[in-house]
Structures are given as structure tokens and as C-alpha cells.
Amino acid sequence: MVAFQYPLLFTQESVQPGCFLRAKPIGVMQMLDQGERDDKIIAVHADDPEYKHFNDISELPKHRMVGRCHDCCAMDKIQHI
């Protein structure tokens, strides 16, 4: 069984839990959680003027990825989609 995963979302806006917005997937982070594979979808807010033009994780400036992911991933595990 595959559980629903919330993406790691890049946006300028604060997002409240339970709200809906359009997101565009741009990559995947391979992670392990308690020994189990736990891949994370990386997405951008599709209507955010700061992020909507990104189509692949390689296009995001490194400092933005490091700022969001430093506690949860190794940068070499990010895959392009």
C-alpha cells in the first residue's frame, strides 16, 4: 500500500494545514525513515510568481534547496523528473 505524501513545497506564501493550492512537481528526494524508503516529492506553487517558472529541481538555486532540506536530506539523493 502506498500512503499519500505531501510534497516539499516551495512558495513565498505561508500555507496553512489543510488548504489547497496548485503545485507543480519538479523533483524527488530519496530518503530513509526508520529504515524504510520514504521518497519526498519536491514541488513549486504553480501560481507563485517567484517559483512558477521552475520546471526541474536543477533550476532552483542551491541556497534555496539547502535552506529547505538541510535537516532532512543529502543533496546527492535528489532526482530530476
Residue 60 in domain: yes
User: What is the C-alpha end-to-end distance of the chain, expressed in Å?
Assistant: 23
In which domain, by residue range, is 35 found? 8-80
Question: pLDDT: is 2 or 50 the higher one?
Answer: 50
Q: Which residue, among 26, 34, 31, has the nearest Cα to 10 in the 3D structure?
A: 26
Ordered DSSP codes for 6-62: --EEE-SS---TT----EEEEEEE--EETTEE--EEEEEETT-TTTTT--SGGGS-H
Residue 2 in domain: no
Give the CATH number, domain containing residue 31. Answer: 3.90.80.10
Residue 73 is predicted with a pLDDT of: 53
pLDDT higher than 60, residue 13: yes
Supply the pTM of this predicted model: 0.71
Q: Tell me how many domains the chain contains.
A: 1
Q: How far, in Å, CA of 14 to CA of 5, rounded?
A: 19
Residue 72 in domain: yes
